[in-house]
Amino acid sequence: MNRITNLFNTKKNGILSVFFTAGYPNLDDTKKILKELENKGIDMVEIGIPFSDPMADGPVIQEASTAALRNGMSLHVLFEQLEDIRQDVHIPIILMGYLNPIMQYGFEAFCRKCALTGVDGMIIPDLPFADYMKEYKAIAERNNLKMIMLITPETSEERIRLIDEHTSGFIYMVSSASTTGAQQSFNEQKQTYFYRINGMGLRNPRLVGFGISNKATFDAAAINSSGAIIGSKFIQLLKSEPISVAVDKLRAAIQE
Say if residue 177's pLDDT is above 90: no
Q: Is 57 a catalytic residue?
A: yes
- Give the pairing type, strands 15-21 and 44-48: parallel
H or E element that contains 172: strand 171-174
| pLDDT over 90 percentage in the chain | 81
Point out the catalytic residue in the list 36, 43, 46, 120: 46
Which residue type does 152 have?
T
Helices (H), the chain: 3-10, 30-39, 59-71, 75-81, 99-105, 107-117, 129-131, 137-142, 157-166, 188-198, 215-223, 232-240, 243-253
Asked whether the predicted pLDDT for residue 184 surpasses 60, the reply is no
Calpha distance 52→231 (Å, rounded): 18
Domains assigned to the chain:
1-253 (3.20.20.70)
Q: Are strands 93-96 and 15-21 parallel, antiparallel or unpaired?
A: unpaired
- pLDDT higher than threshold 70 for residue 88: yes
Residues linked to residue 147 through DSSP beta bridges, in sequence order: 122
DSSP class of residue 224? T
- Cβ burial of 129 (10 Å; 0-12, 13-18, 19+) is middle
Report which residue type is found at 219: D
Which has the closest alpha carbon to 42: 7, 15, 23?
Answer: 15
**Whether residue 46 lies in the annotated active site:** yes
pLDDT digits (tens, 9 = 90+) for 26-83: 999 999 999 999 999 999 999 999 988 766 677 899 999 999 999 999 999 999 999 9
| DSSP per-residue codes, 32-85 | HHHHHHHHTT--EEEEE---S--TT--HHHHHHHHHHHHHT--HHHHHHHTTTG
Evaluate if residue 241 carries a pLDDT over 90.
yes
Residues 6+ apart with CB under 8 A from 214: 184, 233, 253, 254, 256
Confidence of residue 158 (pLDDT cuts 50, 70, 90): very high
pTM of the full structure: 0.93
Angle of the 188-198 helix axis to the 215-223 helix axis, nearest 10: 30
Give the rounded percent of residues in the chain with a pLDDT score beyond 70. 94
The DSSP H or E segment spanning 147 is strand 146-148
Distances (CA, A) of 100 to 40, 119, 133, 212, 247: 33, 19, 18, 27, 31
Annotated active-site residue in 57, 63, 80, 219? 57
